[in-house]
Structure 1
Amino acid sequence: MRISRRAAAATAVLVTSALALTACGASGSSGGSDASGEVTGKVEGQVTFQTWNLKANFKDYFEGVIADFEKKYPGAKVKWIDQPAEGYPQKLSADAAGGTLPDVVNVSPDLAYPLAKAGLALDLEKAAGKYRGEYLDGAWKSQQMPGMKGVYAFPWYLNTGPMFYNKDLFKQAGLDPEKPPKTYDQLFENAISMAEKSDRKIAMLASTPSIEDFGRYGVRLMNDQGTEFTFNELKGVELLQHFKDLYEAGALDSQALTAQAESAGRKFQQQSVAMNPGSALDLDKFKKEAPSLYKNVGITDNVNNTGKANMYVQGLMVNAQSKVKPAAVAFAHFVTDKDNQMSFAKKVTIFPSTKGSLDDPYFTKEDGTDATRVRVASAKSLKNAVNYTPVLLSDQMKTVLRNAVAKAVQGKQSPKDALDGAVAECNRLLKTN
């Protein structure tokens, strides 16, 4: 199940479609709001609940959650709709345009943004702020939108990826295999040392920096209003200069400029690269296909200068025009409460966004299996993680950044000129969407 699902191609359509509906209001809705904006009223009526490609594998789980909710609130019923992954953003666009948006909708932050901007996503900071304390602070804040006050979805399931490293290659380079780099300065120093000791045969990394790396390095990615990208500031240029230096020293694999995640993984498996992100599935693969690597694999957090790992997050948005708001808010909260999130996390490799859940022995104690090794490492890093990827960064913008990084690393442009150009183009794209 994918966690980070970009939907930039549909963002403009969503905004355009949804804006036409902002004046419609929520006339005829049951319940109301008190002076603070909190939704009040009886939990009753039929709630339409839309998920994103989950029915095939989790039908029994969701039917159980719905049955429990209807038992708790006899006056409420839930109609579950599951949409395929392909075309999901376009389906949201059609619903927004036709006024048929479900009461509770599974969204990632990038999909929630245009709906929130158009007034179609309920501000849960006002409508259900009493529940804020139940969720991890970073998860709750991940549902904030650029340039807007409020929170526009209940945090649901989370994910992150640990970093694998080859202890034997660290040892050969004279580095402590029990102390992998934690900060970027440590990473750069270790990477240069490894390249020198191996006569440029072993690189530390096989990928260039993504927007997440800029975030973890401490770069300001956007202005506070969410109207302009800012990753070309001094700190961003500094990071890119470091990667250029790594490339020139042989500490960044020569294929990093064109490599996909899969090819970077192969480099790690072939033991020509010392560090690479991965998952429990990768560990199982190493065990079968590369036993000499498997016995030397260490697991650590991705390096960062902020002390906070990156998280991928899904949420449940409540339709601001729902005619059954009290029931919709109650159901969205029910699905994302501690018990139901914990139950879901034991059925699939995801992590709950609720406070205290990650302290459960399921996430803290290893049992010798690969799945547990990765789960424990990931859960530890998620407690104070944040979502570094701006919700307004489209796939097209990611390509712009990736191309600029490649030019700078190869020396075709200075890091400053490359990032200045990337920011200018991304801001142009931002204004046209």
Structure 2
Amino acid sequence: MRVFRRRAAVGVALVTSVMALTSCGGPENSDGSGAVTGKVEGQVTFQTWNLKAHFKDYFEGVIADFEKKYPDAHVKWIDQPAEGYPDKLSADAVGGTLPDVVNVSPDLAYPLAKAGLALDLEKAAGTYRGEYLAGAWRSQRMPGLPGVYAFPWYLNTGPMFYNKKLFARAGLDPEKPPKTYDRLFAEAVTMAKRSDGKTAMLASTPSIEDFGRYGVRLMNSRGTRFTFNEPKGVELLRHYRELYAAGALDSQALTAQAESAGRKFEQQSVAMNPGSALDLENFRKEAPSLYRNIGITDAVNNTGRANMYVQGLMVNAQSRVKPAAVAFAHFVTGAQRQMAFARKVAIFPSTRGALDDPYFTKEDGTDATRVRVAAARSLRTAVNYTPVALSDQMKTVLRNAVARAVQGKQSPKAALDGAAAECNRLLATG
């Protein structure tokens, strides 16, 4: 199971065409304010994303509990494979077969919301807003649209691992890893110099999330233009160019994937790398010398806020059983069900107060708990830095621009200006 996915968004033009061909769908159940009201009855189709193989018993239990609470409602569960999921959503949208409740990440909800196929839960179920973390609720807002288009579901964030031995060898305090980018850049250069270029601090170039954590304004307030080429973005990229020239950024960082960066860290040629409880367990088994020197800290940032990865449950705006669909989506994402799910897999509830549970605050000496407590602590104020409008194609544009600037083939300003212009062109054309 891949709990968090970075996949291409559903084709906006394709989905939007649906609205030109169809009416608004099923009968409305509203009290005049937009809130969905009415009896919870009928069959709800519920679609998840690659979850049945590992969590069949859990979801069947949730469905049974819901049907017991609402005897006139029934749930048909559909689980789709991870491969091709965005294409499946697009096909369902065009064919008018989109399920009543759909598991989506914000980037997948965005084109559906633009097409009018995602129910605005700010209006339809705004009374539930206070049950969720404020940042999680905000993560389901869409640029250029006024509402919230999915119930927040499970969350995650990545703590940062660092190698205490490499820090000490470079004369850096192994108990005080860098928390801000200024310290990171300074200590990275120190480490490279004192190791004669044998040890790099980092193994990858900055992604859009790094720009966000650095404090760069990624889009304008209306979400209609990318602005990561502002002076602060250029400043960040200039620093990475300097790191690369000094040997403080791994020589293969320009082409590194998450897996290759992880191998560099495991080989102890890189001092810091993001990770998870699973990674920590693998280090214990496969790299005991590294494991003995592992430190765990929050990801470096200048904003005081970690990055949040979020999944949600969207309600089909054309559903003919809206009261039941809204009730079921809220039921699945309620505190009790989310907490039970979090005990089965390394995810975190999006409900307010859940992270105060001892399960997320008290360590018991195990690797999983060490990472869980560190991640839960940072999630309290975390935000989703990645703009929902940033498609995979746009990410490639930015990645290539960053590579050119880091290598010195183009100035940081020219590289980011060109990337922002191309991303804005893609955004305008859908």
> Normalization by structure 2: what TM-score?
0.97
Conserved in 2, the CA contact under 8 Å of 1:50 and 1:105? yes
Conserved in 1, the CA contact under 8 Å of 2:332 and 2:338? yes
Provide the rounded CA distance (Å) in 1 between the counterparts of 2:336 and 2:107: 27
Change beyond 3 A, Cα 1:18–1:348: farther
1:390 to 369, 382, 387: 387
Q: Deviations over 1:104-161 (max 9, x none)?
A: 1111111111111111111101111111111011110000001111100000011111
What does 1:232-271 align with in structure 2 at a 5 Å threshold? 232-271=229-268
Q: Deviations over 1:322-371 (max 9, x none)?
A: 11111111100000000000001111111110111111111111122111
Counterpart amino acid of 1:108? S
Q: CA deviation at 1:8?
A: 2.5
Q: CA deviation at 1:6?
A: 3.3
Provide the rounded CA distance (Å) in 2 between the counterparts of 1:393 and 1:240: 19
1:26 aligns with 2:14: no
For the aligned residue pairs, the C-alpha RMSD in angstroms reads 1.4
Counterpart amino acid of 1:105? V
Unaligned residue ranges in structure 1 (runs of 5+): none
Give the equivalent residue in structure 1 for 2:213. 216
Conserved in 2, the CA contact under 8 Å of 1:163 and 1:276? yes
Provide the rounded CA distance (Å) in 2 between the counterparts of 1:158 and 1:145: 18
Change beyond 3 A, Cα 1:172–1:364: same
1:84 to 76, 81, 87: 81
Conserved in 2, the CA contact under 8 Å of 1:14 and 1:93? yes
Provide the rounded CA distance (Å) in 1 between the counterparts of 2:84 and 2:403: 31
Aligned to 1:40, the other structure's residue is in SS state: coil
Give the equivalent residue in structure 1 for 2:274. 277
Give the equivalent residue in structure 1 for 2:326. 329
Aligned to 2:12, the other structure's residue is in SS state: helix
Conserved in 2, the CA contact under 8 Å of 1:125 and 1:150? yes
Provide the rounded CA distance (Å) in 2 between the counterparts of 1:399 and 1:419: 13
Aligned to 1:373, the other structure's residue is in SS state: helix
Counterpart amino acid of 1:28? P
What does 1:123-202 align with in structure 2 at a 5 Å threshold? 123-202=120-199
Conserved in 2, the CA contact under 8 Å of 1:14 and 1:114? no
Q: CA deviation at 1:27?
A: 4.1
Give the equivalent residue in structure 2 for 1:411. 408
Aligned to 1:33, the other structure's residue is in SS state: coil
Aligned to 2:254, the other structure's residue is in SS state: coil
Aligned length: 430
Give the equivalent residue in structure 2 for 1:44. 41
Which deviates the most, 206-215 or 362-371? Answer: 362-371
Counterpart amino acid of 2:191? M
Unaligned residue ranges in structure 2 (runs of 5+): none
1:317 to 314, 319, 324: 314
Q: CA deviation at 1:78?
A: 0.9
> Normalization by structure 1: what TM-score?
0.96
Conserved in 1, the CA contact under 8 Å of 2:15 and 2:94? no
2:102 to 102, 105, 116: 105
Conserved in 2, the CA contact under 8 Å of 1:147 and 1:224? no
